[in-house]
Amino acid sequence: MTQLPRTPVDTLKILGTGFSKFSHIFLEVFRTSRSFRIGVVVFVALVILGVGVSYFSPFDPRRWYLVTPNKPPSFEYLLGTTTNGQDVFWLLTWSIRNSLVIGLITAMVASHVGLILGMLAGARGGLLDRILMILTDSFVVIPALPTLILLAVLLRDVMTIPIMGLIISIFSWPWPSRQVRAMVLSLRERDFIATSIFSGYSVVGRVFRDYMPFILPWHLVNLTNTVLFAISSEAALAVIGVSILSEATLGVMIYWALNYSALFRGLWWWLISPVLTIILVFVSLFLISKGVSDYSNPRLRWQSGR
């Protein structure tokens, strides 16, 4: 049987095809889905606020007693100040940036680890499949929240924003891995996979050439869901006091507001700002996820005339 060439150039072509497919899906969903457009606009606005605006802060908003404490929102302090003498607006911009970094690191690591392991297990089968699924099931049965709390406490002295994202990634990849494997096992029964095998494509070649186009829409949805999981996990750790309390994240803002009884003392702006921001992050990513899900469902696309 004549083998197809497997050179670095072929690999780059496969990756280029995958990127082209991703760009096509994004543009098509953006054009046809209103919920996706709204979600992207809101999420981009939050990214600009967190990544762009935060760098123009006149001071380090994490430091205490730099401004007058307990001031309500005004022209001087757009979102008021905290009991610790922090400007809530500038503190919020830093918090958005750090929370998004945690979510992005978790999504990039966990989603792609789950994707790759799931596709290799389903496409290869045999001993490799059994080993990978035993590894996956071992992580599935570990209780995530208690273990995250334990790791956060043990690593408190060396904890940073990237390390927090990596720790949350440990418990974010097993279920996506199993779901991807199930999809690949279903696709293996299709005729075009048999044709690809007889044409001489390797397992890796089939993964990127044949399976990826079908799994990519689901993968985009999983990316957004993983960001949500990471941000909510960090917020949960922060509320109970085991996150990076010296840094600025949305969860840490909520922790200090609760610790100083902000609502009971009438400092509503201190607590409402991070809570509403988390809601906006969740709503925007949900709308993005919904738009991609609708696009990947042929019945929904046909009903909406797309």
Place of tokens 């762009």: 52
CA distance 15 to 155: 37
CA distance 175 to 184: 14
Place of tokens 């085991």: 242
Contact 132, 177 (CB under 8 A): yes
CATH code of 258's domain: 1.10.3720.10
- Per DSSP, which regions of 18-109 are E strands? none
Sign of CA dihedral 173, 175, 177, 179: negative
Q: Is residue 182 part of a domain?
A: yes
Structure confidence at residue 158 (pLDDT): 86
pLDDT in tens, 295-306: 766 554 544 444
CA distance 258 to 144: 24
Give yes or no for residue 132 having a pLDDT over 90. no
Q: Is residue 1 part of a domain?
A: no
What mean pLDDT value characterizes the chain? Answer: 81
- DSSP per-residue letters across 112-134: HHHHHHHHHHHHH-HHHHHHHHH
Q: Is residue 147 part of a domain?
A: yes
Nearest C-alpha neighbor of 279 from the set 220, 231, 226: 231
- DSSP per-residue letters across 17-71: HHHHHHHHHHHHHHHH-HHHHHHHHHHHHHHIIIIIGGGG-SS-TTSSSSS-TTP
Contacts of 119 by beta carbon, 8 Å cutoff, 6+ apart: 180, 181, 184, 207, 211, 212, 215
Structure confidence at residue 203 (pLDDT): 63
Q: Which two tokens stand for residue 126?
A: 């045999």
Q: Which two tokens stand for residue 113?
A: 């680890």
Contact 87, 106 (CB under 8 A): no
Place of tokens 């099931």: 137
Distance of CA 219 to the CA centre of its chain: 11
pLDDT in tens, 258-291: 999 888 888 998 999 999 999 999 999 888 888 8
Structure confidence at residue 122 (pLDDT): 81
- Is the pTM value of this prediction over 0.85? no
Q: Is residue 2 part of a domain?
A: no
Choose the weakest-confidence range: 123-127, 193-197, 227-231, 271-275. Answer: 193-197
pLDDT in tens, 168-199: 998 888 888 888 888 888 877 766 666 666 66
Q: Is residue 3 part of a domain?
A: no
Give how many domains the chain has, as a whole number: 1
Contact 283, 36 (CB under 8 A): no
What's the domain range around 124?
Answer: 8-303
Instruction: Return the bridge partners of 87, or none.
Output: 81
pLDDT in tens, 39-75: 989 999 999 998 888 888 888 888 888 888 988 998 8
SS3 for 245? coil
Angle between helices 34-47 and 88-106 (to 10 degrees): 120
